[in-house]
Amino acid sequence: MESKKLLILVATMTGTALMAAEDIAEYCSENDIETKIIEIDNTDIKVLTEVKSPVLICSSTYGQGDVPDSAQNFYNKLKELSPNLNHIRYALFGLGDMTYRDTFAYGGKKFTDLLDSLNATKIGDPFYHDASDGTLPEEVAVDWFVNNIKEYI
């Protein structure tokens, strides 16, 4: 049987989203799912247009509800070129802070809105972590993945 694969794209400012991604990747490696983590930073949008496996996007939120600085070129390029992504199945783990009430987790939400508009298919329910709720994203990320996403990989 061909092994299961998952591409994890991380958009982070201070590394929290990466920690959550790494914990999910560790769980995957122990459960026969091959993962590749790419931190978005002037990354070519080819990673999405050419991907064959399902994709997990882990993105935090900065500025006034924006994707992290390092991911802005990628996000803007994707929006500008608007490739058809109907071959993609993707899951979303967003990070934010309810203290920013009006823009809570908009970084991740911007990615889902854009991918949906490019015909990608969402798998499972997106999760939006609230940094003010007393949990750490990496504590809840694996449970979310196991209970909502794993079956679709």
Ligand X SMILES: Cc1cc2nc3c(=O)[nH]c(=O)nc-3n(C[C@H](O)[C@H](O)[C@H](O)COP(=O)(O)O)c2cc1C
Q: Which residue, 13 or 47, has its beta carbon nearer to ligand X?
A: 13
Which residue number has the CB closest to ligand X? 96
Applying the rule CB under 6 A, the residues between 26 and 45 that interact with ligand X are none
Per-residue mark of binding to ligand X, 64-103 (x: CB under 6 A)? xx--x--------------------------xxx--x--x
DSSP state letters, 80-129: HH----TT-EEEEEEEE-TTSGGGTTHHHHHHHHHHHHTT-EE-S--EEE
Rule CB under 6 A: is residue 12 a binding residue for ligand X? Answer: yes
* Stretch touching ligand X by CB under 6 A, among 29-37, 48-56, 63-71, 77-85: 63-71
3-state secondary structure 6-62: EEEEEECCCCHHHHHHHHHHHHHHCCCEEEEEEECCCCCCHHHHCCCCCEEEEECCE
Residues that bind ligand X (CB under 6 A): 12-17, 60-62, 64-65, 68, 95-97, 100, 103-106, 131
